[in-house]
Chain A
Amino acid sequence: MTGSRIYSVTQLNQDIKNLLESNPSFHNLFVRGEISNYKPHPSGHHYMTIKDEGAAISAVLFRSEAARLRFRPQNGMKVIARGRISSFPKSGQIQLYLADMMPEGAGALHVRFEQLKEKLYQEGLFASGHKRPLPEFPQRIALVTSPGGAAVQDMLRILARRWPLAQIVLCPALVQGAAAPESLIHALKLAERHSGADLILLGRGGGSAEDLWAFNDENLARAIYASRIPVVSAVGHEPDVTISDFVADLRAPTPSGAAELAVPDGADLLDAVEQMRRCLRMAQQRRCRQAEMHVQTLRQRLSARTPARYLAAQEHAVQGLHDRLQRALQRELEEKAAAAESLQQRMSSGMQHAIERRYARFIRCEAALDALSPLRVLSRGYAVASDPQGKVVTDAAALVSGDPIRIRFSRGSADCKVQTVYKMRET
């Protein structure tokens, strides 16, 4: 105890955990052993010990991984387990954290499967960039499968229902047994080179892991990868996964599923075509109505400008001007007439006045005249004396006694002889 570090238990256990986790071999290893002390916990996690004749190690399978287990672990069962090594700092207990577990017989296969899968994955055979899209409307489909059995019948039935337009070419192969991988590869190449297909469905119906084993063959995987025609793999039932499934361009859960995925549904397409027919009709009707309205608009605009219209407009204008002219003339005439009338009136009233004035004057003159009328004088008692020559005598001096004179009275006259003359005295 000379200057060496003194750990706390917490530190120590943590360091142990770190040390274990830093070892790459412990990240993903396989262990062969026998299950004992198996305890499924209510939490869903499974606790057990895996042991062999010489030693034992604690193991735990968490609920998420336990769901994938395809058998029920039991004490005494020999298994191959896959997992990582670490420790639980609280207790310091070293544990195998299980990712997967397989009963021994199948386990050997399982190991090979996992190892091949990893290898091909690393080589890039599963890369999604390499996967080709399937043709939307396949014209020829090659089926690489067993010609007997339910799988091919299922596929043919579904393909006939959904997409009878495609021609199907069957490339028969063995789908299980030792000769199967080679048979499958051969049939695949046949399909690729001689079927003229634009799509390949490769698979078989359900079976045990051993039955499906041919589809984990490495050479088959490489043949699928190398295929120039897209390949859909359809092996077994939904949970079965094979290497072919990883390397194919599309994985279908079952052969029937492959038929569904590979081709469109004719019924849907009929609907789509019908729909497009309707859209076509409606679009065209709209277009025609549009054109019709356009023509209508143009027609209206045109008819607003026809020569007849133009002339009518001109006529109208002329008429308008004519009317205005007439009215103006009329007004002019009326004004002149009125002026003339008023002049006339003024004239006639003027005349009237003049006449009246003249008449009055006349009357006055007449009256004056009348007043001056000798007859009037005579009627007042005067008499007019005139000599025999008719000349009026105004001066007595012109007379001598014995001259004849005529005396005119108001009524009648008398011829007389002058008796005595009296002359007017000069003053």
Chain B
Amino acid sequence: MAGKKKQTFEQAMMRLEEIVKTLEQGEVPLEESMALFEEGTRLSAALYTMLKTAEQKVTVLDESTDGQIVEKPFEGGENAI
């Protein structure tokens, strides 16, 4: 259940760093720099949202007697073995 959203956090972060570095070097053709700027702005907004709105999700792996493995939500302390 690894969300695509989380998959791109690292990628988004790396891409944003890359864009900032490229633009700071300043040798980009103007049109391309505008496109990069837009992309960078989009990315930073997305990252900001991800960080601000994320809510921790906790599950517990439960193995039943017949070897079935099930992932269930964890309610702190109640699923003690």
Q: Which A positions have Cβ atoms within 8 angstroms of B?
A: 135-137, 139-140, 146-148, 152-153, 156, 159-160, 164-174, 183, 190-191, 194-196, 266, 269-270, 273-274, 276-277, 279-280, 283-284, 286-288, 290-291
A170 touches B44 (CB 8 A): no
Is B7 touching A139 in the complex (CB atoms < 8 A)?
Answer: yes
Name the CB-closest residue of A to B79. A147
B37's partner among A153, A160, A191, A284 (CB-CB below 8 A) is A284
Instruction: Give chain B's interface residue range (CB within 8 Å of chain A).
Output: 35 or more
Known: A147-B81, A170-B74, A172-B60. A196 touches B2 (CB 8 A): yes
Cα–Cα, bound, A190→B60 (Å): 11
- Please determine whether B77 and A159 come into contact, CB atoms closer than 8 angstroms: no
Residues of chain A lying within 8 A (CB to CB) of residue B50: 165
B65 CB to nearest chain A CB (Å): 14
Partner of A172, one of B7, B37, B52, B79: B79
What sequence of 0s and 1s flags, for each residue 32-65 of chain B, a beta carbon within 8 Å of any chain A beta carbon? 0110010011001001101110111111110100
Find A153's partner among B13, B26, B77, B80 (CB 8 Å cutoff). Answer: B77
Docked complex Cα distance between A183 and B16 (Å): 43
B9 touches A165 (CB 8 A): yes
Question: Which of A160, A170, A270, A273 touches B59 (beta carbons < 8 Å)?
Answer: A170
Taking CB atoms, residues of chain B closer than 8 Å to A136 are 10
Residue of A nearest to B33 (CB): A287
Pairs A-B, 6 closest by C-beta atoms:
A283-B23, A164-B54, A160-B56, A170-B60, A164-B56, A148-B80
Cβ of B28: which chain A residues have Cβ within 8 Å of it? 287
Contact B58 A168 (CB under 8 A): yes
Chain A residues near B19 (CB-CB < 8 A) = 280
Given A276-B44, A283-B23, is A167 in contact with B51 using a C-beta cutoff of 8 Å? no
Given contacts A136-B10, A171-B61, A273-B44, are A280 and B23 in contact (CB under 8 A)? yes
For A183, the chain B residues whose CB sits under 8 A away are 81
> Do A156 and B9 have beta carbons less than 8 Å apart?
no
Seen from chain B, the residues whose Cβ lies within 8 Å of a Cβ on chain A are: 1-2, 6-7, 9-10, 13, 16-17, 19-20, 23-24, 26, 28, 30, 33-34, 37, 40-41, 44, 47-48, 50-52, 54-61, 63, 69, 71, 74, 76-77, 79-81
Contacts of A269 in B (CB 8 A): 13, 47, 51
Chain A residues near B10 (CB, 8 Å)?
135-137
A273 touches B20 (CB 8 A): no
CB distance from A288 to the nearest CB of B (A): 8
What are 28 A-to-B residue pairs whose CB atoms are below 8 Å? A139-B9, A140-B2, A146-B80, A147-B81, A153-B76, A153-B77, A164-B54, A164-B55, A165-B6, A166-B6, A167-B57, A169-B61, A170-B74, A171-B60, A190-B61, A191-B61, A194-B69, A266-B54, A269-B13, A269-B51, A270-B51, A273-B47, A276-B20, A280-B37, A280-B41, A283-B24, A287-B23, A287-B26
| Bound CA span A334–B77, Å | 120
Hey, which chain A residues are within 8 Å of B81, CB to CB? Answer: 147, 172-174, 183
Question: Given the complex, which residues of A lie within 8 Å of B20, measured CB to CB?
Answer: 276, 279-280, 283
Chain A residues contacting B17 (CB-CB under 8 Å) are 276
- Identify the closest chain A residue to B76 (Cβ): A153
Given A283-B20, A287-B30: A147 touches B61 (CB 8 Å cut-off): no
| Known contacts A146-B80, A172-B80, A280-B37: A291-B61 contact under CB 8 Å | no
Contact call A190/B63, Cβ cutoff below 8 A: yes
Question: Do A286 and B26 touch (CB < 8 A)?
Answer: yes
Alpha-carbon gap, A222 to B30, bound state (A): 57
A164 to B58, CA, bound (A): 10
Beyond A266-B54, A269-B47, A284-B33, 14 additional contacts (C-beta under 8 Å) are: A147-B79, A156-B58, A165-B9, A166-B6, A167-B1, A172-B79, A190-B61, A266-B51, A276-B44, A279-B20, A280-B40, A284-B23, A288-B30, A291-B30
Task: Using CB atoms, name the residue of chain A closest to B80.
Answer: A148
Contacts A160-B56, A280-B41, A287-B30; A273 near B80 (Cβ below 8 A)? no
Please give, as numbers and ranges, the residues of chain B lying within 8 Å of A146 by CB-CB distance: 80
Rounded to whole angstroms, the CA-CA distance of A283 and B37 in the bound complex is: 9
**Chain B residues with CB under 8 A of A137:** 9-10, 13
Q: Are B61 and A159 in contact (CB under 8 A)?
A: no
Q: How many Å lie between the Cα of A168 and that of B2 in the bound state?
A: 11
Whether B54 and A270, one on each chain, are in contact in the complex, defined by CB atoms closer than 8 angstroms, is no
In angstroms, Cα B10 to Cα A135, docked, is 10
Q: Is the CB of A190 within 8 A of B69?
A: yes
Alpha-carbon separation in the docked complex, A170 to B60 (Å): 4
**A165, A194, A274, A283: the one within 8 Å of B61 (CB):** A194
